[in-house]
Amino acid sequence: MGSLVQTSNSPLIPRFRTSHRILEEARVQCRSGVRCRLVEPLKFENGKPSTPALPADKDPSFLARPQLGNIVSRKNDTRLRIFSGTANPSLSQEIACYMGLELGKINIKRFADGEIYVQLQESVRGCDVYLVQPTCPPANENLMELLIMIDACRRASAKNITAVIPYFGYARADRKTQGRESIAAKLVANLITEAGANRVLACDLHSGQSMGYFDIPVDHVYGQPVVLDYLASKRVCSDDLVVVSPDVGGVARARAFAKKLSDAPLAIVDKRRHGHNVAEVSLQRMLLIAGTISKGAALLHQEGAREVYACTTHAVFSPPAIERLSSGLFQEVIITNTIPVLEKNYFPQLTVLSVANLLGETIWRVHDDCSTRKGEKFNVMFLCY
C-alpha cells in the first residue's frame, strides 16, 4: 500500500429457550440488532488506547440497522459455527458480535512437551464451520494449531470447514529468488488442504499468486476499504495528498488506492535490497522491522512533506519496529487488527482499524452462497477502532 498513514469482549447474544423456532427468531433479531459501531481514532493516555464511541445520532448511514422485516430468515443459520484459535481471540469475538452469534466452545491446550490438544465441546455434525486463526508469530505454533483444529472438525463430521486466516504468515515465500530455496507458501497450502479444509478465507495476501497454491476455493478480501474509509473521515484536502508506492511492483495497488482518494497524485520510491529485511529507501505495505518505511519517511520529509502517514494491513512489529515507528517521523501509523497488538507495543501515533465487519460479512455471504445479501443494501465493510 502507500505512504499515508482491541478490543474488549463484545456482548454475546442472550441464551434463549430451547424451542428451535424461538431460537431462530432470536438469532434473526440479534443479527439486526448487534452491530459494532464506527468510532473515532484511538486516543491514548499514558500509552494505553481507548475507543470513544460516536453519539447515536451521528452513526454513519452505512452502519444503520436494517428493519427486521428486510431480513430474510434462514433455517440453516443454526448450522453455522465459528470457532476461535488462540492466535487472535479478540478479532474472533468481534466477528461473532457482528454476525450475532456466539463463538463455539472449544478446548485448546498445550502439554508440557509443547504438543497441542484440541477438543470441540459442542456438536458440529453437518455444520458449516469457520475456524478463525491467523498464522502470525509464533507462526509455526499457530499454524499447527489451525491444522489440528481442522482435523478435529473433520473427524467430528463437519459438513464444510473454512479456514479463516486474517494473516497468512508464509505467503511471502511464494517463489524462488535463489537456487535451492523452498516455496513454503505452497507447502503450507498443501498442509491446510490435506488436513481437511474445504475453503480458505484470507485477507491481503502478499501476492495474488498464493491463491493458486491451494487446490480448494480461496476467498481473498482486501483491507484497503477499511483504511480508505478511515482516511476519508480525516478530511484531508486532496490537493495536499500524495500516495507513495513502496516499489514498482506496488504501483497498480497504489494507483487504485490513490484513485479512491479523489484521484490523488502518485509517487514511487526506489528500493535497493541487499538481503532479507534490509533495504535502502522505500515504503512498504507490511510492517516487519520498519527499516524500509522509516527511511522512506525520512526521505519524504527531506523532499518537503509536512506529514507522513504509514498504512499497512498486517503489523508484524518485529524489533526494532516500534522504536522506529514512534521516533516522530510519522504523524500516524494506521494498521488493522489482523494480527493482535501486544499492549507493550502501543505508542501514541498508533491507530488500529478492525476488519471484523469485513470478515463477518464475507462469512455470511459464503454461507449463503451469494455475492450480495438479500434484503440488505448497506455497506458493512468499513469499521474503525
Got the DSSP string for 158-174?
-SEEEEEESS-GGGG--
- Which residues does 310 contact at the CB level (< 8 Å), separation at least 6? 3, 4, 5, 283, 287, 293, 297, 325, 330, 332, 333, 334
What is the DSSP secondary structure assignment for residue 306, as one 8-state letter?
S
- Which residues does 321 contact at the CB level (< 8 Å), separation at least 6? 287, 288, 289, 290
What is the DSSP secondary structure assignment for residue 287, as one 8-state letter?
B
Q: Which of 338, 281, 291 is nearest to 312 (CA)?
A: 338
Q: Please indicate whether residue 23 or residue 180 has the higher confidence score (pLDDT).
A: 180
Q: Which helix or strand (DSSP H or E) is residue 358 part of?
A: helix 356-368
Contact assessment for residue 325 and residue 309, using Cβ atoms and an 8 Å cutoff: no
**Encoded amino acid at 87, one letter:** A
Which pLDDT value is given to residue 272?
Answer: 56
Q: Please indicate whether residue 86 or residue 207 has the higher confidence score (pLDDT).
A: 86
Which pLDDT value is given to residue 282?
Answer: 37
Q: Please indicate whether residue 116 or residue 265 has the higher confidence score (pLDDT).
A: 116
The pLDDT tens digits of the residues spanning 83-110 come to: 999 999 999 999 999 999 999 999 999 9
Contact assessment for residue 376 and residue 66, using Cβ atoms and an 8 Å cutoff: yes
- 101 φ, ψ (degrees, to nearest 5): -125, 165
Calpha distance 14→47 (Å, rounded): 34
Which pLDDT value is given to residue 277?
Answer: 45
* Secondary structure class of 204 (helix, strand, coil): coil
Q: What percent of the chain has pLDDT over 70?
A: 70
The pLDDT tens digits of the residues spanning 214-260 come to: 999 999 999 989 998 898 888 777 778 888 876 676 778 788 888 88
Q: Please indicate whether residue 289 or residue 205 has the higher confidence score (pLDDT).
A: 205
The pLDDT tens digits of the residues spanning 120-148 come to: 999 999 999 999 999 999 999 999 999 99
Cell reading at 198:
474445504
pLDDT band at 341 (very low <50, low <70, confident <90, very high): very high
pLDDT band at 364 (very low <50, low <70, confident <90, very high): very high
Contact assessment for residue 312 and residue 334, using Cβ atoms and an 8 Å cutoff: yes
- Whether 38 has a pLDDT exceeding 50, the answer reads no
Q: Please indicate whether residue 365 or residue 41 has the higher confidence score (pLDDT).
A: 365
* Secondary structure class of 286 (helix, strand, coil): coil
Which pLDDT value is given to residue 260?
Answer: 86
Segment 62-90 shows an average pLDDT of 65
Calpha distance 46→55 (Å, rounded): 25
Calpha distance 35→384 (Å, rounded): 13
Cell reading at 157:
463430521
Calpha distance 54→50 (Å, rounded): 13
**C-alpha neighbours within 13 Å on the C-beta side of residue 250:** 24
Calpha distance 297→165 (Å, rounded): 30
- Which residues does 66 contact at the CB level (< 8 Å), separation at least 6? 32, 375, 376, 378
Q: What are the DSSP E strand ranges found in 270-375?
A: 273-275, 278-279, 309-311, 332-336, 350-353
Segment 16-37 shows an average pLDDT of 42
**Encoded amino acid at 84, one letter:** S
* Secondary structure class of 295 (helix, strand, coil): helix
- Whether 327 has a pLDDT exceeding 50, the answer reads yes
- Whether 203 has a pLDDT exceeding 80, the answer reads yes
Strand order from edge to edge, sheet including 350-353: 309-311, 332-336, 350-353
Query: In sequence order, what DSSP letters do the residues of 124-171 get, joined into one string?
Result: -TT-EEEEE----SSHHHHHHHHHHHHHHHHHTT-SEEEEEESS-GGG
pLDDT band at 204 (very low <50, low <70, confident <90, very high): very high
> Between the CA atoms of 372, 378, 380 and 381, what dihedral angle is there, to the nearest 10 degrees?
80
* Secondary structure class of 267 (helix, strand, coil): strand
The full length of the chain comes to 385
* Secondary structure class of 344 (helix, strand, coil): helix
